Amino acid sequence: MTRPLRDRLGEMMREARIGKTRYAWSRLDDSAQEEWRRSADHLQRLAADMGVSITLTGDQKPKPTPPAAAVIYSLHDARDSQNERAIRCEGDGRWSVITTNRLTKATKILLTFSVEEVDRDCDQILGGDPKAKEITGALTKVAAVNFIRMLHAESMETA
């Protein structure tokens, strides 16, 4: 079944405004979706006044399935060849960068964060806030979120 234009446009406007979040469109109640649908209606009216038409061109492509395992990415630790670094979903929107010793299999959490926290950190950094220098593991967290988004895992929860 094809979703109505106002539904798709509302979802796109929401994503453009707040980004991809673990609270997917399908998880919103109807009243929250309706606010975005009304904004989509308004955009269509504005577009029509400017001589622009927004139309559907086909069915929506299915969103890629997020990874099934809690650990979504791993690589060797450049500082210690006996360790491996990984990005792990902790559930409830939380993520960790962990190290695992290849010999003992012992794991250690280096950083825990949410995608939203890292987005706020990026705003602080780009805004030139002097306190941004105090953000713990900023580069590591930004790199991890890059992989989380690349692997379409933003909305992932642990099994």
Sheet containing strand 80-91, edge to edge, reads 71-77, 80-91, 94-101, 107-114
Residue 87 vs residue 60, higher pLDDT: 87
Give the per-residue pLDDT at 69.
85
Domain ranges of the chain: 5-49, 71-150
pLDDT exceeds 70 at position 80: yes
Mean pLDDT across 35-40 = 95
Confidence of residue 56 (pLDDT cuts 50, 70, 90): confident
pLDDT in tens, 92-144: 889 999 999 999 999 999 999 999 899 899 999 999 999 999 999 999 999 99
Give the per-residue pLDDT at 104.
95
CA–CA separation, 151 and 65 (whole Å): 9
CA–CA separation, 56 and 5 (whole Å): 6
pTM: 0.64
CA–CA separation, 80 and 100 (whole Å): 11
pLDDT exceeds 90 at position 62: no
